[in-house]
Amino acid sequence: MSGKVIQNDEQYEKARVAVLDMAAKLDDPLNDMSAEERRRMMAVYDRTTDLMQRYRRGQLVQRDPFLREIYKQIGYEWQEFGPLKQEDKSGATAPPPGPDKPKERPAKRITSDWLD
């Protein structure tokens, strides 16, 4: 599929609201929508939910690149994004976090200290 894509989280949220609205209209038995209108709305609904899934999968692939291979194996499609920016202004990447030092515990207080 090519063409329109969801570009940012704001567009994703608008699409989500529109899908919920369309779902309510399509599910309403008292809605006097013609068969052609219903078919057209269902096509828009399907296309929008597909775009939303691709956008979400693209975010997941960007965050966890190992998912790219898994999605290929199961036949999922996703929206490509650029790499996550983890560089500072000098262009050097941040060093990986070192091992955590154990926190120093304060000296154990003896309950009779207050007597002194």
Q: Over the chain (116 residues), what is each successive 10-residue block's mean pLDDT?
A: 80 96 92 92 96 93 91 91 58 53 61 61
- For CA atoms 6, 10, 16, 22, give the dihedral sign: negative
pTM of the model: 0.65
